[in-house]
Amino acid sequence: MSRIGKKPIYLPDSVTVTVADGVATVKGPKGELTRQMHEAVSVETKQDDEGKTYLAVKVKDVAEDTAIWGTFRAHFANMVHGVTEAWSKQLELNGVGFRMNVAGKTLKMSLGFSHEVVYELPEGIEATVEGNVLTIAGINKDVVGKVAAEIRALKKPEPYKGKGFRYTDEQIIRKAGKTAKAD
């Protein structure tokens, strides 16, 4: 039995969930998300004793199928959260002369290379720059995390001076530089 899979997902009044032909659709004020469902997973909308609507994720009682129960419950919880509040990640750019700016759906960065790095933002992702902090936001948690990881991979933080992209909540362990030889 999955402890995560058993937990209900409470739905705000502005969110609707529909399942048709093995595809689940979650609609909310921020947008709409769809996900292909596994054949062993079923989703039901119920109401509790207090009248709150919640989503119950069920699975067949086969041992192999219970392994995906908690995973699909987490996917649905992320979808409900995404259509009500946007997911966001923040990256901090450190380094002398490193700059970035957003123009429409294009992120332009000077990262110490001989050329300017241009990154095209995918559909549904918004980016804002405030000083040296880049905020990536969107309704799909998977895409927001993927975009943040791809941008971070362009210039990972180096361990001596910490130059490069790092998440705002990430700790970079610094190494000591060369020391003079003692005689």
One DSSP character per residue, 95-118 reads STT-EEEEETTEEEEE-SSSS-EE
What pLDDT sits at residue 1? 61
pTM of the model: 0.86
What is the total count of domains within the chain? 2
If asked whether residues 23 and 45 sit together in one domain, one would say: yes
Question: Which pLDDT value is given to residue 110?
Answer: 94
Q: Could you give the CA distance from residue 148 to residue 183 in angstroms, rounded to a whole number?
A: 48
pLDDT for 182: 65
Q: pLDDT category, 137, cuts 50, 70, 90?
A: very high
Q: Cite the beta strand spans of 22-114 per DSSP E.
A: 23-27, 32-36, 41-47, 53-59, 87-94, 99-103, 106-110
Mean pLDDT of 74-90: 93
Residue 138's domain comprises 87-167
User: Both 93 and 144 in a single domain?
Assistant: yes
Select from 53, 84, 115 the last residue of a domain: 84
Q: Check whether residue 69 and residue 7 sit in a common domain.
A: yes
Query: Looking at the structure, do residues 66 and 94 belong to the same domain, yes or no?
Result: no
Higher pLDDT, 167 or 63: 167
